[in-house]
Amino acid sequence: MKLHSAHHRHSRAIALVGVLVIIGLLSMISLSLMYRMNAAATSSATTLPSEQAWAAALSGLDRATSVVSDPTRTSIGWMDNPTEFEHQLVYDDGSDKWYFSVFRQGNLESGDITYGVTDEASKLPLGLTNVIQMMAVPNMTLPVAEALADFVDADSISRDNGAEQETYDMLPVAYTIPNRQVSFLDELLLAHGVTAGHLYGEDANRNFKLDSNENDGELLSPPDNQDSALAGGLHRYFTPHSRDWNVTFANQPRIKINDPELDFSETELNEELIGFLQAKRTAEEPIESMVDLVGATITITEEGNINKEYSSGVTTENLPQLFETCTLNPNEILPGKVNINTAPANILAQIPGIDENLATTIVSTRTGISPENSRSIAWLLQTGIMSNDQFKQLERHLTARSLQFHVQV
């Protein structure tokens, strides 16, 4: 009887220990779950604001895309538009209000912040073989300019202050230079003597504001000239991204009027111009410039030795429509054109054939050009600010629209 009672008490003791072990394990599991839940809650609370900020920034990007894609807007609509780009409310969640601003650095002279986007066609094409053009960039030195030119040109002959492949072969870690045009600016950091300051100027954090470390000389990075102004780098003057498409504003292919296979009867050109172009084709005289069509005539000898004169019917007034619908260039993509409606005078003055006076005149004149007339480079002729010969020299460098943009939100 006593043995049975002792055994019974021993069994209950084992059961109690087991229960205590289970309770201990459950407590540990509960504590672990509570820790993980608290960690998840903390993580969620930390992540949510950053996600909200990201969503607000994407709203700004969407607004910018919508504005620049609207064919009815002029360049003012996306270059300087605080109504749609400054401090725009996205969402009020009860505790915080979320806004976005789309902004860019203003003109090259003042550098003030403007609420808008930057079009790449307002810059020079990134050729970098024109040392004189590069020397117009603030803080540019001749050795750096010539090193950049050698970095991208096709030959292996080093300029007096430049650096070709043999210079790079002597580096501790040698590498091959491209000897071609680069696809993006940061590739140029591999060029001899080139720093981020040469590419991006004194604005190290790209916020378009003069911070204390950007106006203290050599004390803190980046190096600056302590002149209380933000000097721009190559990125403000040059771009590898600008290109135009050889299509109309309605995205239709232009008529290649010098194409010998072109059937003029299938085009929408008027009969007078078709007759003139056919006569030029018969005489084997291709059109060299659209300007040559203004007031142009041609006389050809037809059957029976009869001389017949054909007139183009093109005037300065209808020249914009001709630029819109027709082209002399057979290529589908037209790279490296500068937009006369948006490029600052400093940029225009670097285009061969445009001096500082003409560049200033273009900038001052375009403010009075109607939105309709600004869709074509023909307004340069219509306003009389340049001659036909000047225009013929320049037209291959110019465009009146922009299709690539840099957006900062």
DSSP per residue over 181-237, as a string?
--SSGGGGGGSTT--HHHHHTT-TT-SSS--GGGSSTTSSSSP---SSS----GGGT
Q: Are residues 260 and 183 in the same domain?
A: no
Spatial CB neighbours of 237, under 8 Å, sequence gap ≥ 6: 108, 123, 124, 133, 136, 137, 346, 347, 350
Residue 249 in any domain: the answer is no
Q: Are residues 221 and 261 in the same domain?
A: no
| Domain termination residue (choose one: 207, 239, 271) | 239
Residue 172 in any domain: the answer is yes
Residue 26 in any domain: the answer is yes
Q: What integer pLDDT is reported at residue 1 of this predicted model?
A: 44
Q: Residue 170, exposed/middle/buried by CB under 10 A (0-12, 13-18, 19+)?
A: exposed
Q: Are residues 304 and 356 in the same domain?
A: no
Residue 102 in any domain: the answer is no
Q: Are residues 272 and 356 in the same domain?
A: no
Q: Are residues 218 and 173 in the same domain?
A: yes
Q: What integer pLDDT is reported at residue 52 of this predicted model?
A: 85
H-type helices in 304-348, by residue range? Answer: 319-325, 345-348
Residue 245 in any domain: the answer is no
Residue 372 in any domain: the answer is yes
**Domain encompassing residue 25:** 2-73
Query: Averaged in consecutive runs of 10 residues, what is the pLDDT profile of the chain (409 residues)?
Result: 51 58 64 60 58 88 91 83 93 87 76 87 86 84 92 91 93 92 90 89 78 77 77 86 92 94 91 93 92 92 81 93 94 94 93 94 94 93 93 94 92
Q: Count the Cβ atoms, other than its own, within 10 Å of residue 246.
A: 14
Q: Are residues 311 and 377 in the same domain?
A: no
Q: Are residues 131 and 187 in the same domain?
A: yes
Q: Are residues 152 and 185 in the same domain?
A: yes
- Fill in the amino acid letter for 78: W
- Identify the residue whose tokens are 């900020």: 53
Q: Are residues 67 and 141 in the same domain?
A: no
Q: Are residues 313 and 364 in the same domain?
A: no
> Whats the size of the chain, residue-wise?
409
Q: Count the Cβ atoms, other than its own, within 10 Å of residue 317.
A: 10
Q: Are residues 298 and 364 in the same domain?
A: no
Q: What integer pLDDT is reported at residue 3 of this predicted model?
A: 47
Residue 81 in any domain: the answer is no
Return the closest-CA partner of residue 191 out of 223, 250, 143, 249: 143
As for how many domains the chain has, the answer is 4
Q: Are residues 225 and 307 in the same domain?
A: no
Q: What integer pLDDT is reported at residue 83 of this predicted model?
A: 94
- Identify the residue whose tokens are 């001899």: 192
Torsion-angle region of residue 382: left (phi > 0), alpha (psi -120 to 50) or beta?
Answer: alpha
How far CA 317 is from CA of 180, 284, 371, in Å, comes to 42, 27, 15
Q: What integer pLDDT is reported at residue 41 of this predicted model?
A: 54
Q: Count the Cβ atoms, other than its own, within 10 Å of residue 240.
A: 20
Residue 100 in any domain: the answer is no
CATH number at residue 172: 1.10.40
Instruction: Measure the CA–CA gap between 152 and 265, rounded to whole angstroms.
Output: 46
SS3 343: coil
Q: What integer pLDDT is reported at residue 10 of this predicted model?
A: 54
